[in-house]
Amino acid sequence: MTETCVTVVTGANRGIGLEIARQLAKRPGIHVVLTARDEMKGQAAAERLREDGLDVEYHRLDVTDPASVGVLSRHVARTHGRCDILVNNAGISIESDGTRIVDSKLAEWQRTLDTNLLGPLRLAQALLPLMRKHRYGRIVNVSSRMGQLASMGTGAPAYRVSKAALNALTAVLAAEAGRGILVNTMTPGWVRTDMGGAGAPRSVAEGADTAVWLATLPENGPTGGFFMDRKRIAW
């Protein structure tokens, strides 16, 4: 890449998303479009990164709203003419502790799948054409060990299924993306964020590292894989 590398990070006003945006923007030649639903929080996060001398802009995005995704994709195409990296970080976990399938709420399933699965799908559909135009792209989907079929367990069924489905989406998208476009999914592990809680063993910097690595893979890098700590793990 000799031109400015345009990067979109979703759900980036705090936590892992903000740290991914920070680490990517620290790399030479990368311009980050930091997105979030809450405009005040998103603007504030982008401003903090700009104060550190980083090349970051804010754009509002609600991944559950097709119109919002369309506005973002048109802005990126019109303003930058390209999108090189997409990090689908935005996600929710809204079920009560101890929720099981038999007592889970359909409305929570719908909200969870709309955000955690259909959100990344909407973004991929909107921005993949810009990647194909330049035959270069990196798509990183932020998943979870809770979506790992190899160790699937009980609790938080909607969240687990949404992340397992996101992993499947990653594999299909990797097969269809086209020349020069690498698509992978990763788990940050249990991280000290608002979602993970203060007792989590991993820092946000540790949680963001593999996503940043996947976002900046060389031409011969892997595609269609599930990673943690830069190592491929079982689906």
Cα distances (angstroms) measured from residue 86 to each of 76, 89, 148, 217, 233:
12, 9, 22, 13, 21
- What's 173's domain CATH number? 3.40.50.720
Q: What is the pLDDT of residue 201?
A: 75
Query: Across-strand partners of 186?
Result: 142, 227
Question: Active site residue: 58, 159, 226, 227, which one?
Answer: 159
The interaxial angle of helices 119-134 and 66-80, nearest 10 deg, is: 20
Q: What is the pLDDT of residue 8?
A: 98
Domain of residue 155: give its range.
5-232
User: Count of domains in the chain?
Assistant: 1
Candidates 69, 187, 168; CA nearest to 128 is: 69
DSSP string computed for 18-56: HHHHHHHHTSTTEEEEEEES-HHHHHHHHHHHHHTT--E
Candidates 74, 77, 83, 38; CA nearest to 58 is: 38
Q: Whole-prediction pTM value? A: 0.95
159 is catalytic: yes
Q: What is the pLDDT of residue 202?
A: 83
Q: What is the pLDDT of residue 1?
A: 46
What is the full per-residue pLDDT of the chain (235 aa) written as tens digits?
A: 457 999 999 999 999 999 999 999 999 999 999 999 999 999 999 999 999 999 999 999 999 999 999 999 999 999 999 999 999 999 999 999 999 999 999 999 999 999 999 999 999 999 999 999 999 999 999 999 999 999 999 999 999 999 999 999 999 999 999 999 999 999 998 777 766 667 777 888 999 999 999 999 999 999 999 999 999 999 9
